[in-house]
């Protein structure tokens, strides 16, 4: 499972590990950098796809944690 919160999402986008939609960031500089990297910022606390979990930041920690636990549970089933 790969996860990132807040400005750490930029690292994953730069490494081409994340493309497309990411949670919109409160920090304007981070948001601008993500947009320059062609990421699509959407207003949601967490985005979870396959083994990837992305969160807006500190305010989304509970949703972020639950999404990671859900991913782990799904991996056990498969």
What's the confidence (pLDDT) of residue 54?
98
CA separation for the pair 40, 23 (Å, rounded) = 8
User: Mean pLDDT of residues grouped by 10 in the chain (78 residues)?
Assistant: 95 95 92 95 94 94 96 83
The 8-class DSSP code of residue 29 comes to: H
What's the confidence (pLDDT) of residue 76?
81
Residue 36: give the domain boundaries.
Answer: 2-77
Closest CA to 35 of 13, 57, 5, 58: 13
Strand, coil or helix: what is 40?
Answer: strand
What's the confidence (pLDDT) of residue 78?
58
Number of domains observed in the structure of the chain: 1
Q: In this structure, what CATH number is given to the domain that contains residue 56?
A: 3.40.50.880
């Amino acid at each position: 499972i790969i996860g990132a919160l807040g400005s750490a999402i930029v690292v994953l986008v730069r490494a081409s590990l994340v493309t497309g939609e990411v949670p919109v960031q409160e920090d304007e500089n981070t948001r601008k950098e993500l947009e320059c990297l062609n990421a699509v910022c959407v207003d949601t606390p967490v985005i979870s796809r396959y083994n990837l979990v992305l969160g807006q930041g500190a305010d989304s920690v509970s949703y972020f944690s639950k999404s990671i636990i859900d991913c782990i549970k799904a991996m056990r089933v498969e």
